[in-house]
C-alpha cells in the first residue's frame, strides 16, 4: 500500500515537473517567435515559416541524437555484439551476387516499412508547425496562439477513436467546448470590425483556414506519439524525436531547395545574423518542450498533455500583451472568462470522478 502511494506521489511530482518544463520552454519559444515576426517583419522572405520549421527539425534531430547516444552508451557494452558473433562458432559463408542483390532489396523494403510511419508523423508535425507559422502572415500572432487552443476537443475525439483513453463524459466535452468557444471569441475580438477592408477580411479567413488544418494535425500528433511509445514495439522519447525530426529535416530541405525558397532565407541569415540566435533559441526551447511533452504523453496520455498545453497558452497570450502591447476589447475579457470557466469545470469534473468510483 505504501509503495503504491509512493509511486503515485512520484508520478504526480514527475508529471508536475514535466508540465512546468513544457510550460516554461514553450513560453520562451512563443516569445522568441513573436520577436522574430515583429522585429524582422520587413525583411522576412516568403519561405520564413518553412525556414523556422527546418531550424526546429535540424536542432531537435541533433539534440535528440546526442541525448539518445548518451543514454545508450550508459547501458550498452560496445564489444557485446562482436563477441557474441565470435563465441557463436558459426562460420560466415559468403553469398552469391544474386543473393546479395536480393538481400539488398529486402533491406531496402524493410527500411521503407520502418521509416514510412515516421515520415507520416513528420508530415503531421510539419502541418502542425509550419502551416500555423504561415497563418501569421494573415492573422495576428495572438490569434494564432489562442485559436490553436481549440485543439483540445479534436484531440479528445481522436484519442477515444484510437483507444488511447477512455470515453469522455458530456461534462468533459462541455468544458472543452467552453475553452474552444472562449478562444474563438478571443481570436475574433478586434478582427471583424467594419473598418477592415475586404482584402483584410479575406486574409483573415485564409489565416483561419490554415489554422484549422494545423489544429487537425495537432489532434493527430500527440495521439500518434502515444501510439509509438506504448505497446510491444514501444520506443523512447528521444528515439521518437530523433527519427521523426530526421525524416522531417530531409523532406523539408529537399522541398525548400526544389521550390527555391531556401536561398532567400539563407540571405536573411547572412544579412541579419541575430535572427539566427532567435531561430536557434526557438529550436533549443522546442527540443526541451517536446521532450517534456512526449514524456508527459507517455505517462499521462495525449489529452492530459494537450490540456497542459492549452493552459500554457493563456499565460502566453497575457505575456504577449505585456511585451507587445495591443488594444484590449470587451470580447477579449468575455473570451477569457469562457476559457477560465471551461478550465474550472474540467478541474471539478476530474476531482468528482475518483469519488464516484470509490462510492460505487
Q: Would you say 43 and 286 are in contact if contact means Cβ atoms under 8 Å apart?
A: no
pTM: 0.61
Contact status, residue 68 vs residue 237, Cβ threshold 8 Å: no
Gap between the Cα atoms of 286 and 27, Å rounded: 10
In the three-class reduction of DSSP (H, G, I as helix; E, B as strand; rest coil), residue 236 is classed as: coil
Q: What is the pLDDT of residue 2?
A: 38
Residue 359 has what pLDDT?
40
Distance CA 225, CA 240 (A): 8
If you ran DSSP here, which 8-state letter would residue 90 be given? P
Q: Can you give the residue ranges of every domain in the chain?
A: 18-69+98-348
> Residue 96's pLDDT is what?
53
Q: What pLDDT is attached to residue 5?
A: 31
Residue 180 burial class via C-beta count within 10 angstroms: exposed 0-12, middle 13-18, buried 19 and up = buried
User: Which residue blocks in the chain are alpha helix, DSSP H?
Assistant: 2-39, 48-75, 80-88, 97-135, 141-147, 152-162, 170-188, 198-228, 237-258, 262-271, 274-300, 302-323, 330-359
Q: What angle do CA 320, 284, 299 make, to 5 degrees?
A: 90
Per-residue pLDDT of the chain (360 residues; tens, 9 = 90+): 333 333 344 566 777 787 788 878 877 887 888 788 888 888 888 888 889 888 888 998 898 888 877 766 655 444 444 344 444 444 444 555 555 555 666 676 677 777 788 888 888 888 877 787 778 778 776 677 666 766 666 777 777 766 656 676 777 777 777 777 776 676 565 555 545 566 667 777 888 888 888 888 887 887 787 778 776 777 787 888 888 888 888 988 998 899 888 999 999 999 999 999 999 999 999 888 888 877 777 766 656 656 666 666 666 666 666 666 666 677 777 877 877 777 677 667 666 654 443 344
Rounded to 5 degrees, φ, ψ at 166 are: -70, 170
Q: What is the pLDDT of residue 266?
A: 93
What gap in Å lies between CA 132 and CA 40, rounded to an integer?
18
Residue 308: CB partners within 8 Å, gap ≥ 6?
Answer: 19, 22, 23, 296
CA 119/CA 250 separation, integer angstroms: 10
Cα–Cα distance measured from residue 38 to residue 216, given in angstroms and rounded to the nearest whole number:
27
Amino acid at each position: 500500500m505504501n509503495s503504491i502511494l509512493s509511486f503515485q506521489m512520484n508520478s504526480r511530482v514527475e508529471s508536475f515537473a514535466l508540465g512546468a518544463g513544457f510550460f516554461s520552454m514553450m513560453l520562451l519559444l512563443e516569445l522568441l517567435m513573436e520577436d522574430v515576426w515583429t522585429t524582422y517583419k520587413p525583411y522576412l522572405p516568403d519561405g520564413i515559416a518553412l525556414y523556422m520549421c527546418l531550424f526546429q527539425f535540424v536542432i531537435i534531430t541533433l539534440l535528440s541524437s546526442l541525448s539518445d547516444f548518451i543514454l545508450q552508451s550508459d547501458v550498452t557494452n560496445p564489444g557485446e555484439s562482436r563477441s557474441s558473433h565470435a563465441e557463436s562458432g558459426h562460420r560466415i559463408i559468403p553469398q552469391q551476387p544474386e543473393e546479395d542483390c536480393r538481400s539488398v532489396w529486402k533491406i531496402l523494403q524493410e527500411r521503407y516499412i520502418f521509416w514510412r510511419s515516421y515520415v507520416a508523423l513528420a508530415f503531421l508535425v510539419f502541418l502542425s508547425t509550419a502551416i500555423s507559422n504561415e497563418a501569421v502572415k494573415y492573422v495576428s500572432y495572438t490569434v494564432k496562439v489562442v485559436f490553436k487552443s481549440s485543439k483540445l476537443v479534436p484531440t479528445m475525439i481522436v484519442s477515444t477513436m484510437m483507444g488511447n483513453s477512455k470515453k469522455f463524459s458530456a461534462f468533459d466535452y462541455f468544458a472543452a467546448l467552453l475553452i474552444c468557444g472562449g478562444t474563438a471569441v478571443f481570436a475574433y475580438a478586434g478582427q471583424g470590425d467594419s473598418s477592415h477592408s475586404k482584402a483584410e477580411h479575406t486574409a483573415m479567413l485564409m489565416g483561419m483556414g490554415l489554422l484549422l488544418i494545423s489544429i487537425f494535425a495537432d489532434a493527430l500528433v500527440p495521439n500518434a506519439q502515444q501510439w509509438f511509445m506504448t505497446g510491444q514495439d514501444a520506443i523512447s522519447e528521444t528515439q521518437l524525436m530523433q527519427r521523426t525530426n530526421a525524416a522531417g529535416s530531409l523532406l523539408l530541405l529537399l522541398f525548400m531547395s526544389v521550390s527555391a525558397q531556401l536561398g532567400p532565407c539563407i540571405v536573411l541569415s547572412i544579412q541579419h545574423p541575430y535572427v539566427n540566435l532567435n531561430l536557434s533559441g526557438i529550436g533549443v526551447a522546442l527540443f526541451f518542450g517536446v521532450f517534456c511533452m512526449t514524456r508527459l504523453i507517455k505517462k499521462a496520455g495525449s489529452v492530459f498533455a494537450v490540456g497542459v498545453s492549452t493552459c500554457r497558452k493563456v499565460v502566453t497570450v497575457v505575456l504577449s500583451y505585456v511585451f507587445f502591447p495591443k488594444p484590449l476589447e470587451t470580447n477579449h475579457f468575455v473570451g477569457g472568462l469562457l476559457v477560465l470557466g471551461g478550465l474550472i469545470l474540467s478541474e471539478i469534473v476530474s476531482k468528482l470522478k475518483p469519488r464516484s468510483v470509490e462510492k460505487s
